[in-house]
């Protein structure tokens, strides 16, 4: 039974959640309805939670309000894809509710969960049911109801998880796309893994992880103790060790013994070892008791008070230098600037030639984080910065930047690279922001995009059976057809382009396509579309063999 959660406990809960979702990310990816091998839900949620874990591994927050604020900030900066952004919003609302609190009881935490859901719903335009939003909302509702009668926070979590799983199972019936594919929502599944891992951590079932698993960047850095004052350290020695189990003694007895000698206790065990982390003033007594369970494999004892005194000044200087380097906001030198999200040397060159100021690497193969986009915006020396996401799954992250900088940020809802290029072609660098917004938005509706890639796994989309490795042709990011023969799918693409009666067709060929192969496709289209001007560009993009712009 647990009445409250403090900062140390919450830190362990979130780290455990990050490790677990990383281990399950591929299973979550497999739930994605569309089998295109791009930035999948599991990967995005794992990278987002990993940002919080890396931040937590560098610090020792004592109060839950401190820990929640730290986590929310790291998640917001590191959020990738729509699922990652929604996850960051859930924790941002939770952090705002817990602000200033040393601990949170069941009622307070349940209320904070509801505030997180409110923050997520407010930020999502036209929120759909049968998604992570539904699962998180019903889990939070269950927690709030349980907390009215139950003070054990572990029990409240357990009830929330039970109802969350029921909600997750129903997503297949609430979302028509999921129902056709016969799967539950991937984001909702990821969220439930996070809640389960957090509860497991509270119960002491934290998974054992190495420094590599915990994030090499975090592991290489020294702990930051500047989050608290020296007098706030109740127990002065951070004591960690691993015992090789050589007796039949119950590790629960060791847990009880150590609980009386300190705090921030994490004890993890399997059939062979017991791993312990505890803050105590009596490390000698701790190790003596540990020896009654077996031999000590590793020992690490640090005087936190001395470490705090020695490192806080140096760390402050490092933090100031990092902040100055990473968060410089470029002074405006012109009225209009552009940040474009894209990947592939040729595609990047096109955007730069058309006047983009900053490029953010990403798109189909890897969704950039909010921080990636924000840094590019701040480095753009313009009063108004237009952002071209060029991908539906990047749009939400881009929009989160609007209120995170002093610059005027306008996100043009480009969902493909050809749309982004069309927007750039009508941009007037000296024009009014409002006029440019109107013109760029109109331009993207005048271009059609056909993409050719391959299926990363077996799937069923719109009653069409797809086999792993088959060619996939997409029209405006929706399935056009699937074939196992290139020439068959080429003919379908050609007929589709004919129907648009185009004047201009631009073929961007990817890194897996030779110049000769691209030339053959260009010649075929030219013979079938004598009225159209055909242009071929070595885009160099991964994953997509061809991206074809039709105007």
Statement to judge: residues 39 and 154 lie in one domain: yes
Strand duo 104-105 + 4-5: pairing: antiparallel
Q: State which of 444, 472, 502 marks the end of a domain.
A: 444
| HEC secondary structure over 439-504 | HHHHHHCCCEEEEEEECCCCEEECCEEECCCCEEEEECCEEEEEECCHHHHHHHHHHHHHHCCCCE
* Domain carrying residue 209: 4-220
pLDDT of residue 34: 63
Residues 26 and 132 reside in one and the same domain: yes
pLDDT value for 365: 57
Assess whether 205 and 236 both reside in one domain.
Answer: no
Does residue 318 fall inside a structural domain? no
One domain for residues 502 and 525: yes
Tell me, what DSSP letter sits at residue 360?
Answer: E
Q: Out of 444, 463, 495, pick the residue that ends a domain.
A: 444
User: Which pLDDT score is estimated for 284?
Assistant: 86
Please indicate, yes or no, whether residues 110 and 214 belong to a single structural domain of this protein: yes
**Is 421 in the same domain as 381?**
yes
pLDDT tens for the 551 residues of the chain, in order: 899 999 999 999 999 999 899 989 988 888 876 666 554 789 889 999 999 998 888 888 889 999 999 999 899 888 888 888 899 999 999 999 999 999 999 999 999 999 999 999 887 767 888 999 999 999 999 999 999 999 999 999 999 999 999 999 999 999 887 887 788 999 999 999 999 999 999 988 765 443 344 333 233 333 333 333 444 456 777 787 888 889 989 988 998 898 888 876 656 566 777 877 677 888 888 999 999 999 988 787 877 666 545 544 444 444 454 444 455 788 999 999 999 999 999 999 999 999 999 999 987 657 898 989 999 999 999 999 999 999 998 999 999 999 899 999 999 999 999 999 999 999 999 999 999 999 999 999 999 999 999 988 888 887 788 888 899 999 998 999 999 999 999 999 999 999 999 999 999 999 999 999 999 999 999 999 999 999 999 999 988 999 999 99
Domain presence at residue 360: yes
Q: Could you give phi then psi for residue 485, rounded to 5 degrees? A: -125, 130
pLDDT value of position 228 = 39
Q: Are residues 61 and 139 in the same domain?
A: yes
Q: Which domain CATH number covers 368?
A: 3.40.50.510
One domain for residues 435 and 470: no
Separation of alpha carbons 351 and 354, rounded Å? 5
User: Does 316 fall in a domain?
Assistant: no
Q: Is residue 118 part of a domain?
A: yes
The pLDDT of residue 125 is 62
Distance from the Cα of residue 93 to its chain's centroid: 17
* Contact in structure between 109 and 5 (CB atoms under 8 Å): yes
Structure tokens at 287: 């190790």
CATH number at residue 81: 1.25.40.340
- Considering the domain architecture, whether residues 20 and 128 belong to the same structural domain is answered as yes
How many beta carbons lie within 10 A of that of residue 9, not counting itself?
Answer: 22
Q: Are 450 and 475 in contact (CB under 8 A)?
A: yes
Task: Write out the DSSP string of 118-156.
Answer: HHHHHHSSSPPSSSHHHHHHHHHHHHHHHHTT---HHHH
- 148 within domain boundaries: yes
- Would you list the DSSP string of 283-295? HHHHHHHHTTTEE
Q: Is position 323 within any domain?
A: no
Judge whether 346 lies within some domain. yes
Structure-token pair, residue 311? 């490192």
Total residue count of the chain as it appears in this document? 551
Phi, psi of 391 (to 5 degrees): -165, 135
Query: Are residue 38 and residue 89 in the same domain, yes or no?
Result: yes
Where among 220, 246, 262 does a domain terminate?
A: 220
Residue 349, class by beta-carbon neighbours within 10 Å (0-12 exposed, 13-18 middle, 19+ buried)?
A: middle
Distance CA 3, CA 1 (A): 7
Residues paired with 74 in a beta bridge: none
Instruction: Count the Cβ atoms, other than its own, within 10 Å of residue 72.
Output: 24
Q: How far apart are CA 353 and CA 355, in angstroms?
A: 5
Residues 6+ apart with CB under 8 A from 114: 140, 141, 143, 144
Number of Cβ atoms within 10 Å of the Cβ of 265: 19
**What token pair was written down for 23?**
């281990």
Domain count, the chain: 4
User: Both ends of the chain: CA-CA distance in Å?
Assistant: 65
CATH number of the domain residue 501 falls in: 3.30.1180
CA distance 66 to 118: 21
Residue 413 lies in a domain: yes
Q: Can you give the CATH number for the domain in which 296 is found?
A: 3.30.70
Tell me: do 295 and 412 sit in the same domain: no
Strands 459-461 and 464-466: antiparallel
Domain match, 361 and 301 both: no
Q: What is the DSSP string of 16-62?
A: HHHHHHHHTHHHHHTT-SS--SSS-HHHHHHHHHHHHHHHHTTB---
């Amino acid at each position: 039974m647990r009445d409250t959660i403090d900062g140390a406990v919450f830190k362990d809960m979130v780290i455990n959640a990050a490790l677990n979702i990383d281990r399950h990310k591929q299973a979550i990816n497999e739930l994605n309805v569309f089998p295109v091998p791009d930035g999948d839900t599991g990967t995005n949620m794992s990278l987002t939670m990993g940002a919080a874990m890396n931040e937590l591994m560098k610090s020792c927050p004592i109060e839950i309000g401190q820990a929640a604020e730290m986590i929310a900030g790291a998640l917001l900066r590191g959020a990738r894809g729509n699922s990652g952004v929604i996850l960051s919003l859930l924790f941002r609302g939770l952090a705002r509710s817990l602000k200033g609190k040393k601990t949170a009881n069941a009622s307070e935490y349940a209320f904070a969960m509801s505030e997180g859901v409110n923050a997520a719903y407010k930020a999502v335009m036209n929120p759909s049911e049968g998604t992570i939003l539904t699962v998180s909302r019903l889990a939070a509702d269950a927690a709030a109801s349980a907390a009215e009668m139950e003070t054990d926070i572990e029990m409240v979590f357990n009830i929330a998880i039970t109802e969350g799983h029921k909600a997750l199972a129903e997503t297949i019936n609430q979302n028509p796309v999921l129902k056709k594919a016969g799967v539950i929502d991937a984001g909702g599944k990821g969220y439930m893994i996070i809640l389960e891992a957090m509860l497991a951590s509270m119960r002491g079932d934290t998974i054992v992880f190495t420094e590599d698993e915990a994030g090499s960047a975090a592991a290489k850095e020294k702990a930051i103790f500047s989050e608290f004052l020296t007098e706030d350290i109740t127990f002065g020695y951070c004591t960690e060790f691993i015992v090789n189990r050589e007796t039949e003694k119950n590790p629960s007895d060791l847990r009880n013994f150590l609980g009386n000698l300190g705090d921030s206790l994490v004890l993890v065990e399997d059939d062979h070892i017991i791993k312990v982390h505890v803050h105590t003033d009596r490390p000698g007594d701790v190790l003596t008791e540990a020896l009654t369970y077996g031999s000590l494999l590793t020992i690490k004892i640090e005087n936190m008070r001395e470490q705090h005194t020695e490192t806080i000044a140096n760390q402050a200087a490092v933090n100031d230098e990092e902040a100055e380097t990473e968060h410089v906001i470029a002074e405006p030198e012109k009225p209009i600037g552009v940040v474009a999200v894209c990947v592939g040397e040729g595609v990047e060159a096109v955007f730069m030639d058309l006047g983009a100021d900053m490029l953010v690497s990403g798109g189909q193969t890897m969704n950039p984080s909010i921080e990636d986009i924000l840094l590019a915006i701040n480095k753009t020396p313009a009063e108004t910065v237009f952002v071209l996401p060029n991908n539906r799954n990047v749009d939400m992250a881009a929009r989160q930047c609007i209120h995170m900088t002093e610059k005027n940020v306008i996100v043009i809802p480009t969902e493909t690279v050809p749309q982004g290029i069309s927007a750039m072609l009508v941009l007037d660098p000296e024009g009014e922001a409002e006029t440019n917004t109107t013109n760029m938005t109109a331009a993207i509706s005048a271009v059609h995009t056909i993409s050719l890639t391959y299926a990363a796994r077996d799937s069923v989309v719109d009653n069409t059976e797809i086999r792993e490795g088959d060619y996939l042709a997409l029209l405006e990011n929706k399935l056009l057809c699937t074939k196992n023969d290139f020439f068959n799918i080429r003919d379908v693409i050609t007929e589709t382009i004919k129907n648009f009666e185009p004047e201009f067709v631009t073929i961007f060929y990817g890194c897996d396509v030779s110049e000769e192969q691209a030339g053959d496709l260009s010649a075929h289209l030219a013979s079938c579309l004598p009225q159209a001007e055909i242009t071929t560009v070595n885009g160099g993009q991964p994953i997509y063999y061809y991206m074809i712009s039709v105007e």
